[in-house]
Structures are given as structure tokens and as C-alpha cells.
Amino acid sequence: MTLWLSVFAVTAANWVMKASGPLALGERRLPPRAVNVISLMASALLAGLIITNLGGAGWSDLDWQQVLGVGTAGLARALKAPMLLAVGCGMAATALLRHLLT
């Protein structure tokens, strides 16, 4: 029962957080300075997501083989590989490394 309640509490909080901007602001528009901030939000968020995904809590998850795989995927993308193929290259590089080193 506690488990179900916890799941529904997190789900409801998630919905409320996504709705909070429209509920608080309605049809009011943001000032230009705030729009400038928002235009940079995706870049800052994506950079943060990459770092937190690779580092984990207290940097305890940092794994150079994973970093190398992500770098390989980025390189493949920079060389105009399609997104899925680039990620596949990254996975293959990491998997190969792990296979060779175990």
C-alpha cells in the first residue's frame, strides 16, 4: 500500500511541476530579459544532464570506458553519422573495451 501511495505521490508531484508555469503565469508574457535566459536553458540543462549522467552522486559512477564511448558517439555525429548509428558506435567502442579488458 505504501509503495502504491509513494508512486502516486511522485506521479502527482511530477504533473504539478510540469503545470506550474502555466498555472502561475497564465497568459502573461515574460519580459525580454527572461526570454533571453530561457533561450539558453536547453544548452545549460543538456550540459548538466551529460555531466550528472557520467558522474553520478559524488562522482562515484565515473567510468572512463563510458566516457570514451560517449566521446566516440560525439565524434561519429560530428563526422555526420546519423544519430542512432553514432550512439551504436559509442556503445560498440565501450563494449569492445570492456571485453578486451576483462
Partner 1 sequence: MRVSNLASSSTRTTGGAFTDGVRLGTGPGAATFVLGLAYGAAASAAGWGGALPLVFSMLACSGSAQFTLLAVLPAGGAVAAVAAAVLINARYAVMSVALNDSLRGGRLRRALQAQALLDASFAVGHRGEGRFDVARLAGASIPQWAGWVSGTAVGLAAAPSAQLMHAFGADVVFPAFFLMLALDELRKSRQAIAAAILGASIAAALLFVTSPGNALLGATAAALIGAVHGRRPQRSVHEGHP
When asked if residue 101 is in the footprint of partner 1 (CB under 8 A), the reply is: no
Give CA–CA dist 14/7, Å, rounded: 11
Give CA–CA dist 41/30, Å, rounded: 15
When asked if residue 78 is in the footprint of partner 1 (CB under 8 A), the reply is: yes
Residues in 17-36 that interact with partner 1 by CB under 8 A = 17-27, 29-30, 32-36
Give CA–CA dist 42/49, Å, rounded: 10
CB of 74 to partner 1, least distance (A): 5
**7, 15 contact by CB (below 8 A):** no
Of 5, 79, 100, 101, which lies in the binding site for partner 1, with binding defined by CB under 8 A? Answer: 5
When asked if residue 84 is in the footprint of partner 1 (CB under 8 A), the reply is: yes
When asked if residue 64 is in the footprint of partner 1 (CB under 8 A), the reply is: no
